[in-house]
Structure 1
Amino acid sequence: MASLLHRLGLFSARRPLAVLLAWVFVIAASVGGMATLSRPLSNAFEIPGSEFGRVLDQLGEEIPDVAGGTGTVVVHSPGGFDADQRTALRDTMDAWEQLPHVTDVLDPFALQRRLDGSVDRLDRAERRLTRGQQQYDSGRAQVAGLEALLRQDPSSSTPELEQQLRDGRARLDGAEQELADGWAQYAAGRALSDAGDGVSFVSDDGTTALVQVRFDTQTQELDPSVLEAVPHAGAALADAGIEADYGQELTMSREVGGPGEAIGVAVAGVVLLVMLGSLVLAGLPLAIAMVGVGVSLTLGIATTQWIELQQMAPVLGMMLGLAVGIDYALFIVNRHRRQLADLTADLPDGVRPDREAVRASIALATGTAGSAVVVAGTTVVIALAALAVSGIPTLLQMGLLAAFTVAVTVAVALTLTPALLSFVGARAVPRRRRSASTGADRAGWPQRWVGLVTRRPRAATALVSLVMLVLALPALSMRLGLPDGSSEPQDSTAYQAYERVADHFGPGANGPLLLAAEHDQPVGEDDLVAEQARVARAVLAVDDRVSVLPVGTSDDGRTLAFQVVPAEGPSAESTVELVEGLRRLAAGDERIHVRGLFDAPMISDVNPTGEQLLGDDVGLGLTGATVANIEVSERLAGALPLYLTMVIGLSLVLLTVVFRSILVPLVATAGFLLSVAASFGAIVAVYQWGWLGSLFDVHDPSAVFSFMPTLLIGILFGLAMDYQMFLVSGMHEAYVHGKDARTAVRDGFSSGARVVAAAALIMVSVFAGFIWAEMTMARSIGFGLAVGVLLDAFLIRMTFTPAVLSMLGDRAWWLPRWLDRLLPNLDVEGAALAERLRAQQPEVAEEPAREPVPVG
């Protein structure tokens, strides 16, 4: 591989203009493709075969009015809504109804009047029934008195009196049945009303109202311009003195870049400038990263003509592309500069290497450092492509686009970097001449640090392990979920809408559940209220709910739809428990009995036997955005162990092939697991517990973004292997060329520590730039990757790994001979390439090499 990359680097160095123009053409073509083929990105999270999807599809066929998407508009008037403001609101609602895909706009004041009217009707019915009961009791008493009189004095009986008595008994029997039916209907209506108690559309103080805009499909599937038209049409409300805030489903950010990301790239540029000491050379890795990201993302977005692309995918691709693009180019540039420093060490002052010598150095750097870049990039690509095991198309899209971005960036780094270095020419020679033979380039903090670590390897290993395990402790309480309005920036309209709903209508109103009760037999119109009450009674027996409200009935009467309002917000743990309780109720796993839910006048005991509330004739199904988020999180959590196992297996196989060792892969994998666990712990502490929330703009801590653990494992694995490759390959190279095990660790560390430290700081800067991104979902991923790279690079790869390898000594590099013969030789360190080049230059003395010493 090194020889092939050497030829590629030499070709690019000798024909730099052709390579540059080729990439310019690719960029132009990809931008043109994006401009002509791209379609809007989606914010939907799909799960094939999901329960919430099945229920939603069924409701879409049977009760379309409740199955479409709904956008919430929260309108507020500090002094209450006057006549002019209500007129302005009605006009705006009329304008919303004319928008594409809008099927209905629900007037909150009309809905509130209907709710209040139903309570009044129940009160009037109760009074009528009470009067009827009193009349019945009076009539029954009169009949009873007359019967008693006839029993005492039978002679007073006449045919007319006997007939009158029979007629009275008949009328009383009929009245008794009517009263019983009336009280039963009243009890069902009152129970249903009580079940919906707490649901309102206008706040108690009359200052806030909820307007629901219904669409013919889910909001995630609509063109963003359709959703954006709602706030645009509502701008006229401000002229009437009405404050309008729009829910997250109408205003979810679709921004791919922002000031935070720009700051991160700027910090990366400063690190490059300090590392390379030249504006030209510092700009080169940035240019490579920009080209890689630009080509891959524009091509990826162009594919939206044929496939649906989740809006998070380009953000993840940009995040990764910028980081690895800068790093991969830096590794090649740094290797080239070190070679030039050695080449010019013995030249007279003012003399620079000629063009062919510079090109030869570029080719050698591409063959050696480029080999590590290919292996590292391939590792990232495989880890991201393996996200297919999750079975979630959205996650696969994100993984594939990110993998494509990394692959393109590797191609750009291996071709455009040599071409640009050829343009730079001898200006890449470091200003201070340093000789590798004297070890001057290895003096400084890397040598002092590795010396300290290898002198006290047990203490260093124990200390790093302790720190990582302590950081990992919060991960034991990690909860997964998708972001809701509470996670949006505090100055956003989505957050203001969420807060106003929570303050005036309860936090659960921000994430109601949609429940479908499927009956074996049609429910007749006369039995509808009683059946709705029966279902509501069963749901109310489950904890963590506030109210249950019927919202629709299918034409055939077999399916009843209900809105269930949780006690807390969509991401709250209690809401997850509510969904689980409703699932148990639907599955019949536990018997939930009536506990006085139907208490009403004249009805002392509706369910004295304590039978199961819902029999086999009724099946319950759950759907809605909140249920979908919970099910997505559960599916991702279930796929996580398999994915982690695959990544660990890949790590062991890859590192065994590269380093020809059994213990080195085990050490690297153990360090990777420590990094992942510590990163998870830091994310939980900040985003779930709210620690340092003011610093990271976490104002309402909630569940961790459900995609984050899987993505972080895949990405961090690839990046950790990058640093493992560049540090440990130097140690292995020194060992096989005759150094003892401990000296090899020190020399290999000293030769690669500076560039790895710079690369890690660059990645941390780029990832940290996404912590304050407009897109909420990108924040925890950026934070987790920044923390993960920081911990993995400086604590695991630069402290834990050299300490453990120093303790292991020769055993670290042992590999059974039979396994050594089976494994392919990737020549990542370029040994075969160096041998070939030395053969072409016999005057260069070869350093004696040795085989690893078998131990144990």
Structure 2
Amino acid sequence: MALLLASGTAFFLFSGDLEDSFSIPGTPTDEVNQQLSSEFEGMGGGAGTVVYQTEDGTPFTEEQQEQIADRTEEAAEVDGVEDVIDPFATDEEVADQRQELEDGREELDDGLAELDAGQEELDEGRAQAEMAGMLDQVEDDLDFQQSQIDDNREVIEEQEEELERGEAMLEMSSEISTVSDDGATVLVNIAFTDAQEEVSQETRDAVMAVFESDPVPGTEVEFGNDIAMSMPSLVSTAEVIGVIVAGVVLVVMLGTLIGAGLPILTALVGVGIATLIAMSLSGVLEMASVTPILGLMLGLAVGIDYALFIVNRHRRQLKEGAELTESIGLANGTAGNAVVFAGTTVLVALLGLNLTGIGFLGLMGSVGAIAITIAVLIAVTLVPALLSLVGMRILSRKERARLDGADGADGKHRHGEQDEVRPMSTGRALLRTGVAVLALGIIALPALDLRLGMPDGAAEPTDSTQYAAYTAVEENFGEGMNGPLLVAADLTGGPTKEAAEEQAEEEQFQVAEELYSRDDVTAVAPIGISDDHTMAIFQVVPEGGPSSESTEDLVDTFRDLEPIEGAGPLGVAGMASGNIDISDTLSDALPTYLSVVMGLSVVILLLVFRSIFVPVVATLGFILSYFAALGGVVAVYQWGWLGAIFGVENPGPVLNFLPTLLVGILFGLAMDYMLFIGTGMREAYVRGAPARLAVQQGFRAGRAVVTAAAIIMGSVFGGFIFSETMMISSIGFALAFGVLIDAFVVRMLLIPALMHLAGDGAWWLPKWLDRLLPDIDVEGSALEERHTHAEGTGEPGTAEVPEGSADEVAPSRS
């Protein structure tokens, strides 16, 4: 309670704003933005979009236009805003440019007509002079007139070339507009002084307040996701349902409301502490809105499971006749020890995300590690304390009555179920292996089509202002206007200022033509040329949206393009470009991180099981469950399969950091399940059971607790699937699906079958390696042996192991 109060105080004193964007310094997009900031005043900052629509679908009236113009002027005064563009003024400027070009074309045509007429008159005069024999007398005058006509024609031709260039530029940019064709929708473009990811929420809120606080009568205003932030809710109905399902599983398993409520209560306390600590760090760290929710998700699921392991062990010991206080200590020294080891495994995997070198991802791992640490500490401190407070009420009335009537217990398993265990047949083991591998392979197939990206406005909740703005832009201006690209081209310059200026205009047009000629480009508009005439920038509107595959291909194409020989390739920036760079960086980091995790898996399992075969098959099983989980995510969130069930209305790329995040979390949880299934097999084998019989005995010992733990985790993670935020939903689905696949298909179907097929070879370890490896007493076997010996109930290490929990089985000691 003191720690909860302290973390709450820290939250109120030090918490800050959460971010709604992700950035990685040093990416190509970041480099272009830095270059633009230095070359162009007011460029390189973030952007925002405000969408106005008339309520009745009719064009804006003059009064409404004036009121919107007033709002843009007011918004331009907000601190942190570089400029706000009046959409109607922009549209008028384009119309004026078009009219100037038309007027220029008329004047040019008139001038050419006059020249042609003058040339015809001159030619006639020359012919008449020649016929009259007076050509020598007037030839100098005629030649002078001809030179004037030629000079004028050359000037007009230059003007015509410039006019044609302007007409071509206007045609290329004709699809870029801030007023829709029907005049009922307009875009107010906002330029911020800071980079997109550095724009404070106060600045954004102040801008939105300008347009919302004094609405324009007869209009509706919406804000794009580049300015509005949808803060995902920490607690939702779906998550509560997930906890209720977990409670039902606990009641069924433990048979008592107090026993079921205790793990949930302690998990909620742990989650409260961890979440408040994480939120208090947001004042000094740039933290994405999804980060504390990830910590909550992990802390809740793991906290319930870890408390369950200790409570279940304590209940079993009480039913065997152990004294209350002694049972609590023994449960904490055995099952609690296993919890510490399991939690440490997850902790190391999450902290390993910092090895990727990607700041926001490392912070997610660190916040998740805080949640896991708190869950472990709660499990081995608060859980024993509460067990002491509830006393024997942790057992149901029937269990207490049976215990009182039995006048003690001998600690033996009275049902003889272990004696009835028979090893599975080899044929059945082969069948189970084939079915498991085939099923996992089929489920993993969609992962081959994995596309990474960031959710755009289409992925926002359908009742949000971001979604309304995105769809309004798409319907009235084209999908590409939701994510225009900013293209920068280096120019060759010139020996003099005049030559450089002329050369720059020609090269600007050359680049624009090259960009416009590409497939999937809707429009190209020149924005400007730097003062030293060495760089030009363009706005390019793609046909597809910011997360579409065609836009990704377009960015790659532009970056490989060198339209001006010797000037170097083009640079690309913008929201779509930034998301692509983040996805590419994460994709590059994933193989390294996956390799580190696989190596960690082999080392941990080698220490625990003292075997070569077990770590290898367990790690390969993790790889299968990982890619199967990714396959499920691709099928649902990228392809849209079963989208109606999971609330996926607009399928798109998979969240770019999800595959890397999934590695760390799923690895830790998979190792937990392997621990609780595998240690029973190892212990039975060391105690003398034949290898194949030991597999079945260990499976029987651990299956109940692994089943309950997997269902609980799946329920808690699954509750987040129905979050309105697609980012949270996809993470919840990946974790829930991955946990269930790993527990029920890999650990409880595939691993026992492979262990059976390996026979004694499953436990082979070179003697020299056996001598080098330290003794890892994961589940407090030494403590249990001393306790058994002190009671005089049997020789050390000979107590029978009842079915029901993997943490009831002690691993061997070397």
Per the shorter chain, which TM-score range? Answer: over 0.9
1:447-504 CA-partner distances (Å, limit 9, x unpaired): 99x9778771111111111111111111111100011001111121111111111111
Q: In structure 1, which of residues 69, 83, 98 is the aligned counterpart of residue 62 of structure 2?
A: 83
What are the residue-to-residue correspondences of 1:209-358 with 2, within 5 Å? 209-235=186-212, 238=215, 240-259=217-236, 260-343=238-321, 357-358=323-324
**CA contact 1:102–1:215 (8 Å) conserved in 2:** yes
Check if 1:576 corresponds to 2:568: no
* Distance in 1, Cα, partners of 2:259 & 2:738: 28
Give the CA deviation at 1:237: 6.2
What are the residue-to-residue correspondences of 1:476-555 with 2, within 5 Å? 476-521=448-493, 529-555=505-531
Residue 15 (structure 2) aligns with = 38
Check if 1:170 corresponds to 2:147: yes
Tell me whether 667-676 or 139-148 shows the greater mean CA deviation: 139-148
1:416-473 CA-partner distances (Å, limit 9, x unpaired): 11111111212223544598734649699xx99x977877111111111111111111
Q: In structure 1, which of residues 117, 120, 133 is the aligned counterpart of residue 96 of structure 2?
A: 117
1:617 is paired with a residue of what secondary structure? coil
Greater RCO (CA < 8 Å, at least 6 residues apart): 1
Check if 1:468 corresponds to 2:472: no
**CA contact 2:487–2:537 (8 Å) conserved in 1:** yes
Check if 1:411 corresponds to 2:392: no
Residue 602 (structure 1) aligns with = none
Check if 1:47 corresponds to 2:20: no
**CA contact 1:454–1:802 (8 Å) conserved in 2:** no
Give the CA deviation at 1:219: 4.0
Check if 1:559 corresponds to 2:535: yes
**CA contact 2:559–2:569 (8 Å) conserved in 1:** no
**CA contact 1:388–1:396 (8 Å) conserved in 2:** yes
Check if 1:725 corresponds to 2:675: yes
* Distance in 2, Cα, partners of 1:219 & 1:272: 46
Tell me whether 689-698 or 263-272 shows the greater mean CA deviation: 263-272
Give the structure-1-normalised TM-score.
0.88
Q: In structure 1, which of residues 90, 95, 108 is the aligned counterpart of residue 74 of structure 2?
A: 95
**CA contact 2:777–2:811 (8 Å) conserved in 1:** no
Check if 1:681 corresponds to 2:631: yes
* Distance in 2, Cα, partners of 1:515 & 1:239: 35
Residue 389 (structure 1) aligns with = 355
What are the residue-to-residue correspondences of 1:804-823 with 2, within 5 Å? 804-823=754-773
**CA contact 1:66–1:551 (8 Å) conserved in 2:** no
Q: In structure 1, which of residues 690, 699, 704 is the aligned counterpart of residue 654 of structure 2?
A: 704
Give the CA deviation at 1:163: 3.2
**CA contact 2:445–2:631 (8 Å) conserved in 1:** yes
* Distance in 1, Cα, partners of 2:784 & 2:567: 78
2:523 is paired with a residue of what secondary structure? strand
1:164-208 CA-partner distances (Å, limit 9, x unpaired): 302211111211220221122112212211221211111111111
Give the CA deviation at 1:150: 4.9
Tell me whether 514-523 or 383-392 shows the greater mean CA deviation: 514-523
Residue 763 (structure 1) aligns with = 713
Letter in 2 for 1:335: R
Residue 641 (structure 2) aligns with = 691
Q: In structure 1, which of residues 339, 343, 365 is the aligned counterpart of residue 331 of structure 2?
A: 365
1:200-239 CA-partner distances (Å, limit 9, x unpaired): 1111111111111222113432332332333333235656
Give the CA deviation at 1:309: 2.0
1:307 is paired with a residue of what secondary structure? coil
Closer/same/farther in 2, CA of residues 442 and 635 from structure 1, 3 Å limit: farther
**CA contact 1:107–1:211 (8 Å) conserved in 2:** yes
**CA contact 2:79–2:203 (8 Å) conserved in 1:** yes
1:35 is paired with a residue of what secondary structure? helix
* Distance in 2, Cα, partners of 1:772 & 1:227: 28
Letter in 2 for 1:500: A
Closer/same/farther in 2, CA of residues 442 and 484 from structure 1, 3 Å limit: farther
* Distance in 2, Cα, partners of 1:568 & 1:439: 69
1:651-693 CA-partner distances (Å, limit 9, x unpaired): 1111011011111111111211111111111111111111111
**CA contact 2:58–2:182 (8 Å) conserved in 1:** no
1:109-157 CA-partner distances (Å, limit 9, x unpaired): 1111111222222222222222222332333333344445555x47222
Give the structure-2-normalised TM-score.
0.92
2:720 is paired with a residue of what secondary structure? coil
Letter in 1 for 2:240: A
Tell me whether 754-763 or 222-231 shows the greater mean CA deviation: 222-231
Give percent identity, aligned residues only: 43
Q: In structure 2, which of residues 719, 730, 752 is the aligned counterpart of residue 802 of structure 1?
A: 752
Q: In structure 2, which of residues 409, 412, 424 is the aligned counterpart of residue 437 of structure 1?
A: 412
**CA contact 1:731–1:749 (8 Å) conserved in 2:** yes
Letter in 2 for 1:389: L
Residue 805 (structure 2) aligns with = none
Tell me whether 616-625 or 413-422 shows the greater mean CA deviation: 616-625
Letter in 2 for 1:369: A
**CA contact 2:256–2:395 (8 Å) conserved in 1:** no
What are the residue-to-residue correspondences of 1:632-647 with 2, within 5 Å? 632-647=582-597
**CA contact 1:43–1:310 (8 Å) conserved in 2:** yes
1:756-796 CA-partner distances (Å, limit 9, x unpaired): 11111111111111112243311111111111011111111
Letter in 1 for 2:328: I
Give the CA deviation at 1:35: 1.1
Give the CA deviation at 1:80: 1.7
Q: How many residue pairs are counted as aligned between the two chains? A: 787
Residue 663 (structure 1) aligns with = 613
- Stretches of structure 1 that go unaligned for 5 or more consecutive residues are 1-23, 344-352, 589-612
**CA contact 1:515–1:564 (8 Å) conserved in 2:** yes
Give the CA deviation at 1:632: 0.2
Letter in 2 for 1:805: M
Letter in 2 for 1:636: L
Closer/same/farther in 2, CA of residues 292 and 119 from structure 1, 3 Å limit: same
Closer/same/farther in 2, CA of residues 530 and 62 from structure 1, 3 Å limit: same
What are the residue-to-residue correspondences of 1:777-788 with 2, within 5 Å? 777-788=727-738
Letter in 2 for 1:135: E
**CA contact 1:189–1:529 (8 Å) conserved in 2:** no
Give the CA deviation at 1:711: 0.5
* Distance in 1, Cα, partners of 2:135 & 2:190: 72
Letter in 2 for 1:768: G
